[in-house]
Structures are given as C-alpha cells and as structure tokens.
C-alpha cells in the first residue's frame, strides 16, 4: 500500500471550502477541465441533515502512464469517486472505483481543514492506494500517487483563483 498526504493554504473557512468547492457542481466542472481531464460527469449529490453524499465520474488522461500499465487498464479508463461530507467533523471521505482492475484496486482518501493562524485554512488531503496486480501493482500505486500529488498541487492553484473570482476569499 502507498500513502500520500498533501496540504495547501486557502483564504476561506472550512465550511466555504467544502460547501462552495468540494460539493459544488460548477467548481468541480471547472476544476476537472482545468486539470485537463477529457471528461467529467456530475452523477449525484444527496444532502441530508449534517451529511452529504457526492458521486462523480471522470476520465483521466492516460498519456503519462507506463506502457505496461496502459496495456493492463486498456482504453477508456475512467473512475467513479463516491464521497461523504460530514459537516460536524468538517471532513470529506471518498473511495475511488476504477473502471479497470475491479477488486484488485482499493483507493481511498480524506480531506479535512485546520485553521491557519491569521485566518483561512490549511486543506489536508490523504490518499491510500493498494493495487494487487502481480509485477505491476507497486508501479500503479506509485503512478496514482504521483498523479494525485500533481493534480492536487494544480487544484490548489485553481481553487485559490476560483475563491477570488467568486468573491469567496475570507468567507
């Protein structure tokens, strides 16, 4: 199993980050387009009480995958992300369900925020990736985490701009 944790600063509250970004269809559509994902689909958002459930489908670019991995996952790689936001804990937990590999891949993650001295938050993201494929499982895990690191760094830049463009700084 491979694990990655990243952190990025935002000039907003945790509530704003989760409600106006993570659970926002327009934010996610713009975000995935900015990250170069060929396709993004908003499948579901269920809000009830202090918990919300979000489900999306994305088609990532496979251009940077090693040839052996591309052969294994085939054309048309996509994944569904199912996540639950707990408003009391200010935490979003998700599971990634890839179209390829079936039960041989287990990818989970968490997003949470901590207060930043002077205002704003630090958004933390932690990912666990386990791929059980003889000979290439470790390579796939490493590539997934490299892609998460790159995507979350780019997403942080996008999010800062999104917050500013939408008048959400300091909110």
Whether 65 shows a pLDDT value over 80: the answer reads: no
Buried b (16+ CB within 10 A) or exposed e, 28-51: bebbbeebeeeebeeeeeeeeeee
Which pLDDT band, with edges at 50, 70 and 90, does 32 fall under?
very high
Distance (Å, rounded) from C-alpha 89 to C-alpha 19?
A: 13
Give the start-to-end residue ranges of the domains of the chain. Answer: 2-165
* Cα–Cα distance for residue pair 79/82, rounded to 1 Å: 10
Is residue 42 within 8 Å of residue 53, measured between CB atoms?
Answer: no
**What pLDDT is recorded for position 76?**
67
Report the CATH fold assignment for 2-165: Alpha-D-Glucose-1,6-Bisphosphate; Chain A, domain 4 (3.30.530)
Q: What is the mean pLDDT of residues 62-77?
A: 63
Q: Is 123 exposed, middle or buried (0-12, 13-18, 19+ CB in 10 A)?
A: buried
Q: What is the pLDDT of residues 1-24, one digit of tens each?
A: 888 999 999 999 999 999 999 999
User: For residue 45, what is the DSSP state?
Assistant: E
For 75-133, write each residue's pLDDT tens digit.
667 899 999 999 999 999 999 998 877 788 888 999 999 999 999 999 999 999 888 87
The tokens describing 110, both together, are 């968490």
Please give the pLDDT value at position 1: 80
Q: Please name the residue that has the structure tokens 């470790």.
A: 138
DSSP reduced 3-state for 61: coil
Residue matched to tokens 């926002």: 24
pTM reported for the whole predicted model: 0.89
By mean pLDDT, which of 46-50, 129-133, 152-156, 159-163 is the weakest? 129-133
């Amino acid at each position: 199993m491979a694990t990655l944790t990243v952190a990025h600063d935002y000039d907003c509250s945790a509530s704003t980050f989760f409600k106006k970004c993570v659970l926002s269809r327009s934010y996610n559509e713009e975000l995935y387009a900015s990250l170069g994902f060929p396709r993004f689909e908003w499948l579901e958002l269920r809000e009830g009480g202090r918990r919300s459930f979000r489900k999306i489908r994305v088609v990532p670019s496979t251009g940077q995958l090693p040839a052996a991995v591309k052969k294994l996952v085939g054309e048309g790689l996509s994944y569904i992300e199912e996540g639950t936001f707990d408003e009391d804990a200010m935490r979003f937990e998700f599971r990634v369900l890839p179209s390829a590999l079936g039960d041989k891949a287990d990818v989970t993650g968490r997003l949470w925020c901590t207060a930043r001295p002077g205002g704003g938050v630090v958004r933390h993201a932690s990912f666990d990736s386990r791929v059980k494929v003889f000979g290439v499982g470790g390579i796939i895990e490493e590539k997934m985490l490299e892609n998460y690191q790159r995507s979350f760094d780019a997403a942080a830049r996008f999010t800062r701009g999104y917050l500013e463009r939408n008048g959400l700084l300091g909110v």
